[in-house]
Amino acid sequence: MLTLRERPRNGAARMFRGRPRGQARGGGWGVSPGDMARVKNSEQGKTGMKRMLSWGLAAMAGPFLCVNLSVTGALAETETQAIGDPEHGAEVFEYCSGCHQVGAGAENGIGPQLNGIFGRTAGTIAGFSYSKGLVREGRNGMVWDLKHLDAYLENPKALVSDTRMSFDGLETQEERNDVMAYLRQFSDNPQNIPEAQPTVRKQEVELPPEILALVGDPEYGEYLASECTTCHQIDGNYDGIPSIIAWPSDDFVVAMHAYKRKIRPHPVMQMMAGRLTDEEIAALAAYFGALE
């Protein structure tokens, strides 16, 4: 029946039998909550993670060793090692550190700071704008213990359906145990938080203070935002493309300039940010920052 078999096969009809060729090219989200969501599956992400670790771990490893020599440190070590390997957990935490700080001086950012997370009722750090889901769970009495943290780290949306945490979850029990062991060090005894450097991320782009000081016009931001909401959901829901609402203005502005300068690799975002002026980025930061 296939008379087509008799037609010449040296031309176009044959062209699709080729083998893969060419070279890999960058295209992940860059360092953002979205990246972190993707990092676990991405070779490129791993490269990014190693790069971050090169300065991140140097700052953190030393203080841990010191603390472990102290009495409280020894206790902490026993407890955390019962959960997992905190040193590996520190590496895993690099997935999280785009949004979360932990350690001395840690502050709220895109996500809340995580000192004292163990034993804390969900959604209760004053001054942080939580998703409705986390506030609801906190009101229902959910406390961050091993069981709940483990479930949340495995699949955030399965535990808190409308969380804004743009993270697909850690697949392996080992990774989750290790990162919990790491976080536990900052929770065992909150007044004795190890004197580690806070995990604040070095700014990806050096921005002149006047750019960070720009006060955006939220009304203009609302118009510009209509271009973003084709992909980023306005209610902060995360289904594979990161939530961008309620971010601190500086985080938003830095992220957008990092795309604009093509430091972050994601091609769609490079294109989108590439044609925004400083004022327009500030306007978007003002609009999205005020959303709940």
Partner 1 sequence: MKLNRRAFIGTGAAAAAALSAPHARSASHGGKPKVIVIGGGAGGATAARYLMKDGKGEIDVTLIEPSRMYYTCFFSNLYIGGVRDFETLGHDYGGLAKAGVNVVHDMAVGIDRDTKQVTIASGAKLPYDKLVLAPGIDFVEGAVPGWSVAAQNKMPHAYKGGSQTQLLKAQLEAMPEGGTFAMIAPPNPYRCPPGPYERVSMVANLLSNINPTAKIIIADPKDKFSKQALFQEGWGRHYDGMIDWIGPEFGGGNVSVDPDAMTVTIDGEVTEVDACNVIPAMKAGHICEIAGVTEGNWAPVDGAGMVSKADPDVHVLGDSSAQGDMPKSGFSANSQAKVAAMAIRGELLGSKVFPAKFSNTCWSLIAPDDGVKVGASYAATPEKIAKTDGFISQTGEDAALRKATYEESVGWYEGITSDMFGSS
CA distances (Å), origin 210, targets 125, 207, 234? 30, 8, 28
Q: Where does this chain touch partner 1 (CB under 8 A) — which range of 51-59, 187-195, 230-238, 249-257?
A: 230-238
The pair of structure tokens assigned to 290 is 């005020």
- Give the Cα separation of 254 and 211 in Å (integer): 10
- Give the Cα separation of 102 and 110 in Å (integer): 13
Footprint (CB under 8 A) of partner 1, residues 44-73: 44-45
The pair of structure tokens assigned to 112 is 């809340």
Binding mask 155-194 for partner 1 (x = CB under 8 A): -------------x--------------------------
Q: Which is nearer to partner 1, 116 or 169 (CB)?
A: 169
Indicate which single residue of 30, 36, 38, 207 sits in contact with partner 1 (rule: CB under 8 A): 38
Q: How far is the CB of 93 from partner 1 (least distance, A)?
A: 21
Query: Around 25, how many Cα atoms within 13 Å sit in the side-chain half-sphere?
Result: 4
CA distances (Å), origin 211, targets 32, 98, 216, 257? 20, 21, 10, 10
Q: Which is nearer to partner 1, 4 or 69 (CB)?
A: 4
Say whether residue 8 binds partner 1 (CB under 8 A).
Answer: yes
Say whether residue 217 binds partner 1 (CB under 8 A).
Answer: yes
Indicate which single residue of 58, 61, 146, 215 sits in contact with partner 1 (rule: CB under 8 A): 215
The residue assigned the tokens 């029946």 is 1
- Give the Cα separation of 244 and 266 in Å (integer): 15
Footprint (CB under 8 A) of partner 1, residues 231-250: 231-235, 237-241
Four-CA torsion 100, 101, 102, 108, nearest 10 degrees: -90
Say whether residue 229 binds partner 1 (CB under 8 A).
Answer: yes
Indicate which single residue of 136, 142, 220, 290 sits in contact with partner 1 (rule: CB under 8 A): 220
* CA-atom Rg of the chain in angstroms: 22
Determine phi and psi for 226, rounding to 5 degrees.
Answer: -60, -25
Q: Where does this chain touch partner 1 (CB under 8 A) — which range of 42-50, 76-84, 148-156, 247-255?
A: 42-50
Which residues contact partner 1 by CB under 8 A? 1-4, 7-8, 11-13, 15-25, 27-29, 38, 41-45, 168, 210, 213-217, 219-220, 222-224, 226-227, 229-235, 237-241, 267-268, 270-272, 274-275, 279, 282-283
